[in-house]
């Protein structure tokens, strides 16, 4: 037992050192720190929205519609008297939650398809990659609009549409990593001791794709929020009165000159959230890719 524990400790030491070195590099990059700070703020806002928002998402002040920012309404009110600050806060929970759900679905599908395709090769690889090519042949937003329209216009179906559109690119990323790893000596060693295909793929080969997937997932979060807001702006997502950034901008565009705050603050929320995720993703890519380390 002691020998096994000591071996386990020896095996973990290089990984612990690598993690410490990675954290050290991240701390040296002020833009990454800024990205983490923005992301943490948005996540905090989403989690504690009921305590941060002074009013409910559907609460209305009918006699105070299109009022400019004030102490009572820091971001002003919209065309039906809704408090814009409260609605932006509640929308943070909706947009971040659905974006996270979409990205998890994308990465799980990409890992399954890319791992099986890259490791097994042959006809399995050919069939899966041709399906991937078919999906990649369509413009992403157009395909998402078609799927969302076919399923029905609501937030859940829009999330499913973005999952369908998003996984092919990441599946190719995983496949490329698997193709590069499957012929290495440690895979041959695992085969020689009788390890099965699933064990080799998920316990030996796939961990080497974690870093590229982590970077891709972080960048996908920003892209998913943009796609989500864009499709909601076009009417494929949130229903009437919903607190969602893209839908709020869609309503506010009618009052852009007379009451610009209605669309400006949801737009700023999208801007800062996407910028935060992109800064984190770029920083992780620079740190986790040895070729880009300085």
CB of 210 closer than 8 Å to CB of 289: no
CB of 228 closer than 8 Å to CB of 158: yes
pLDDT tens-place string over residues 37-58? 999 999 999 999 999 999 988 8
Angle between helices 140-151 and 155-181 (to 10 degrees): 130
pLDDT tens-place string over residues 252-272? 888 888 889 999 999 999 999
The pLDDT value given to residue 237: 75
Domain ranges of the chain: 34-292
Q: How far is CA 5 from CA 2, 15, 17, 20, 206, in A?
A: 5, 16, 18, 22, 24
CB of 49 closer than 8 Å to CB of 90: yes
The pLDDT value given to residue 275: 93
Domain 34-292 -> CATH class: mainly alpha
In angstroms, the CA 227 to CA 220 distance is 10
Q: How many residues does the chain have?
A: 294
The pLDDT value given to residue 21: 56
Please compute, for residue 82, the number of CA atoms within 13 A of its CA located in the half-sphere on the CB side.
27
In angstroms, the CA 219 to CA 285 distance is 10
- Any idea of the CA torsion for 32, 47, 219, 98, to the nearest 10 degrees? -170
Q: Along the chain (294 residues), what's the average pLDDT of each consecutive run of 10 residues?
A: 46 55 65 88 93 88 85 89 91 92 91 84 86 85 84 84 88 83 69 69 70 83 90 80 86 87 93 92 72 50
In angstroms, the CA 269 to CA 279 distance is 15
Helix (H) or strand (E) holding 17, with range, is: helix 2-27
Helix (H) or strand (E) holding 159, with range, is: helix 155-181
- Structure tokens of 17? 């050192």
- Any idea of the CA torsion for 208, 209, 210, 213, to the nearest 10 degrees? 160
Q: What is the 3-state secondary structure (H, E, C) of 86-148?
A: HHHHHHHHHHHHHHHHHHHHHHHHHHHHHHHHHHHCHHHHHHHHHHHHHHHCCCHHHHHHHHH
In angstroms, the CA 222 to CA 95 distance is 11
CB of 85 closer than 8 Å to CB of 54: yes
In three-state secondary structure terms, 77 is strand
Task: Count other Cβ atoms within 10 Å, centred on residue 193.
Answer: 6
Task: Please tell me what DSSP assigns to residue 73.
Answer: S
């Amino acid at each position: 037992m002691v020998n096994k524990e000591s071996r386990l400790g020896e095996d973990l030491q290089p990984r612990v050192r690598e993690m410490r070195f990675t954290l050290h590099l991240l701390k040296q990059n002020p833009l990454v720190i800024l990205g983490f700070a923005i992301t943490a703020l948005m996540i905090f806002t989403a989690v504690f929205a009921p305590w941060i928002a002074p009013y409910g998402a559907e609460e209305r002040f009918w006699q105070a519609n299109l009022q400019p920012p004030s102490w009572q309404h820091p971001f002003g009110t919209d065309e039906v008297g809704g408090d814009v600050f409260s609605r932006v806060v509640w929308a943070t929970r909706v947009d971040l939650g659905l974006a996270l759900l979409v990205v998890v679905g994308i990465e799980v599908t990409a890992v399954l398809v890319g791992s099986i395709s890259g490791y097994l090769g042959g006809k399995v690889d050919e069939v899966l990659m041709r399906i991937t090519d078919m999906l990649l042949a369509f413009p992403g937003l157009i395909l998402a609009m078609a799927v969302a329209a076919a399923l029905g216009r609501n937030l859940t179906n829009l999330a499913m549409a973005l999952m369908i559109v998003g996984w092919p690119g990441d599946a190719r990323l995983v496949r490329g990593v698997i193709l590069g790893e499957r012929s290495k000596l440690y895979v041959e060693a695992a085969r020689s001791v009788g390890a099965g295909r699933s064990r080799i793929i998920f316990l030996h080969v796939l961990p080497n794709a974690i870093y590229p997937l982590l970077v891709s997932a972080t960048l996908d979060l920003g892209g998913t929020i943009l796609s989500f807001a864009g499709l909601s702006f076009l009417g494929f997502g949130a229903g009437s009165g919903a607190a969602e950034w893209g839908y709020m901008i869609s309503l506010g565009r009618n009052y852009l000159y007379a009451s610009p705050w209605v669309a400006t603050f949801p737009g700023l929320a999208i801007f800062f959230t996407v910028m935060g995720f992109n800064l984190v993703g770029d920083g992780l890519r620079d740190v986790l890719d040895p070729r880009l380390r300085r």
